[in-house]
Chains A and B, each alone.
Chain A
Amino acid sequence: MIFLTRKAEFSSAHYYWNDAWSKEENERVFGTCANRNGHGHNYTLEVTVAGEVDPVSGFVIDLKEMKEILEREVVSVYDHRHLNLEVPEFAAGPCAKVPTTENIAIAIWERLDGKIRGAKLHRVRVYEMADLFADYYGER
């Protein structure tokens, strides 16, 4: 089994807010992240897949294809967007999630799950900044 990791980057705006709470409660729990004008990050995404090496190509999967999948499924949707306003899983509605680093990792897993042929999705790691990142392994 070989683990293969591909990186991608996206820059997005977001804020943290739970509609079920008062303004005061949101500000108490989320601090400066609750500013409704939003703020942003340069996110780094690392997607790790696991698989066996194809004896002919020597690849686990074609990296070019993985790059295209990440671009199509994630980067084109998240990059230079406001997550709370423009990305369905975080936009207003009963199913909207707070766009924390943890939830972004889970949402990206959902976007990629089943899309990468020939390898098993192993880990989604999202860096919000160099010193803070979240991992999701598909555990429920």
Chain B
Amino acid sequence: MEESSRTGRKAYLSRRYRLSASHRLHSDAYSAEQNRAVYGKCNNPHGHGHNYIVEVTVGGPVDRATGMVCDLGELDGFARRNLLDRFDHRNLNMLEVFRDTVSTTENFAREVYRIFEGFAGAKIERVRIEETGNNSFEYGKQGCSH
């Protein structure tokens, strides 16, 4: 125990954020028929929506003074400004990031990862998004380095 109180061991902190958004899966690279075949009911031109759960994992040495990988308030503030304020209660397809990219949850996870690369408090390691209780998508590091 003694040693661990002095060393900044590497740990991971995960936080789950909830946001609700609409989207429609549609690719300009496909014909209307192909879009319907590939995306099925997700191609409905009127769109549909989900309660997304975005699980963000950051990693780094545990600060000896605070016992934390990063300040949770800073992480939550960053998520509020850069994730929730931008995506919650929006139509994903109307956002610049999905103008030329299909708003699949795979692409959404990559975008959230890219956004959290701008978080200065700790390194983003993984983004996992639950689109529904039955579907989840992960991007980034799986497990640990060894």
Contact among A89, A110, A135 for B14, CB-based, below 8 A: A135
A114 within 8 A of B: no
Shortest C-beta distance, B52 to chain A (Å), equals 13
Mark each residue of chain A from 115 to 140: 1 if its CB lies under 8 Å from any CB of chain B, else 0: 00000001100000011111111011
Mark each residue of chain A from 92 to 111: 1 if its CB lies under 8 Å from any CB of chain B, else 0: 00011111111101110010
A43 within 8 A of B: no
Complex contact A102–B16 (CB within 8 A):
no
State A135–B126 Cα separation when bound (angstroms). 12
Shortest C-beta distance, B10 to chain A (Å), equals 4
State A137–B146 Cα separation when bound (angstroms). 9
Complex contact B7–A99 (CB within 8 A):
no
Shortest C-beta distance, A21 to chain B (Å), equals 8
Chain A residue with Cβ nearest B11: A102
**A110-B1 CB under 8 A given contacts A100-B66, A102-B62:** yes
Complex contact B10–A139 (CB within 8 A):
yes
State A132–B2 Cα separation when bound (angstroms). 26
With a 10 A CB-CB cut-off, give which of A95, A107, A131, A135 has the most chain B CB atoms: A135
The interface residues of chain B lying within 8 Å CB-to-CB of A137 are: 10, 12, 143-146
Contact among B7, B10, B14 for A132, CB-based, below 8 A: B14
Chain B binding surface, main DSSP class: loop
Complex contact A20–B14 (CB within 8 A):
no
Contact among B13, B66, B146 for A29, CB-based, below 8 A: B66
The interface residues of chain A lying within 8 Å CB-to-CB of B68 are: 98, 100, 102
State A18–B67 Cα separation when bound (angstroms). 9
- Chosen A-B contacts, 25 in total, with CB atoms closer than 8 Å, are A31-B73, A88-B1, A97-B4, A97-B67, A98-B67, A100-B67, A101-B13, A106-B62, A107-B1, A110-B4, A122-B143, A123-B143, A130-B16, A131-B17, A132-B14, A135-B12, A135-B14, A136-B11, A136-B12, A137-B10, A137-B143, A139-B9, A139-B10, A139-B11, A140-B7
Binding site for A on B (CB under 8 A): 1-2, 4-7, 9-17, 57, 62, 65-69, 71-73, 143-146
